Amino acid sequence: MRNKFADVFYELGASDPKLCIVVADISPAGSIAKFRTEFPDRFINTGVAEQIMIGMCAGMAQRGLRPFAYTIATFTLYRPFEFVRDDLCYQNLPVTIVGIGGGVTYSTLGGTHHAQEDIAIATAIPNMSVIAPCDPAEAEAATRWCATQTRGPVYLRLGKAGEPVLTDGAPEPWEFGKLRHISRGSDVCVLTYGPVAKMAADVAERYRAQGKSVSLVCAHTLKPLDESGIVEVLKSHDQVVVVEETSPYASLGSRVKQLAWDAQATCRIDTFCLQDEFIHHYGDHAELLAAHGLELDAISAKLNLM
């Protein structure tokens, strides 16, 4: 996703002189390095200083530029939180905050680099939109949207690298604020977003292997959440399974359960997410997810799919 973002940002920035990227001492990946070389005035590195990264983006947006702030997910929101809240959200400025590696993507770097509660934090702020694409193709669509939208601030949570394309055969395009069906069925719906969508797709496949008719749905826009779309999913399936890489608080799973209660939905709901816990564990991304209980066989066992 990171490289796809870089490619698209370079393409868009080459034709839009207002597009800028403000980074805080993070190596510019792929095409962002090319962007820096070709458009040095529109690539700004604030150094290890995230508050000024966000503050500058606010001032630049107020004076006519369209800045993207870009660094590792934890450092986009946690260190400069009040600047995100006051400068970007309270003033409702169209600045995109690109958080690389939400969840526990930086699996060997320890808890200081895990953005496991970023969805809760970002969605809690008024005016903030929150997008977490499930594959590089969605990352491209979301980046294009962010580059021209006038709605306000966006937290764009991207995976780091290596995510497979899952949406090639999707029957509907990516649309901000709308659930996206990757496949349509009638018995079970698996709802997901972000890089963990691959695991959700594998869960869906295990249901299919049992003869179930399965929907796989990407809830790429966490805020504003497509509430009517989720109610429709709840009413049209016997079972809904949510697989996501974030803490339980203000998670998609908790929102789905709230909506189910309000809509008097009667389907079974199973939710899987990160634990509300700092887990002192190192390994690859899959191993970190497994330590939190997000692992295909573990989920399958709880869903009687083994």
Partner 1 sequence: MKHQDLSPGDAHEARRNAFDAAAARARCMRYRRRILDISQQVTALHVAPAFSCTEIVDLIYNELMRWPEAGQSPDVFLMSKGHGCMVQYVILEEMGILERSDLDDYCKPGGRLGAHPDFGVPGIAASTGSLGHGMGIATGMAYAERAQARDGLVYLVLSDGECQEGSTWEGAMMAANLKLENLIAFVDLNDFSGLERMSEGHPAFHPLLEKFQAFGWEGVKVNGHDADAIEAAVRARSGGKPFVVVSETVKGKGVSYMEHVPIWHYRAPSPEEYIQACEELVEISG
Give DSSP secondary structure letters for 240-257: EEEE-SS-STT-HHHHHH
Residue appearing with tokens 């189910």: 260
Mark 72-111 with x for binding to partner 1 (rule: CB under 8 A) and - for no binding. ----------xx--xx--xx--------------------
Which one of 64, 126, 169, 171 is in contact with partner 1 (CB under 8 A)?
64
Q: Select the span of 50-58, 103-111, 124-132, 259-267 touching partner 1 (CB under 8 A).
A: 50-58
Structure tokens at 151: 């709605």
Could you tell me if 167 and 4 are in contact, meaning their C-beta atoms sit under 8 angstroms apart?
A: no
Sheet hosting strand 221-223, strand order edge to edge: 43-45, 19-23, 66-72, 96-100, 154-158, 129-131, 221-223
- Residue whose CB is less far from partner 1, 91 or 239: 91
Q: Select the span of 41-49, 104-112, 196-204, 296-304 touching partner 1 (CB under 8 A).
A: 41-49
State how beta strands 154-158 and 96-100 pair: parallel
Which one of 3, 51, 236, 239 is in contact with partner 1 (CB under 8 A)?
51
Q: How far is the CB of 10 from partner 1 (least distance, A)?
A: 18
Structure tokens at 265: 């939905």
Which one of 62, 186, 210, 258 is in contact with partner 1 (CB under 8 A)?
62
Structure tokens at 24: 């805080």
The footprint of partner 1 (CB under 8 A) covers 20, 41-42, 44, 46-47, 49, 51-52, 54-65, 67, 82-83, 86-87, 90-91
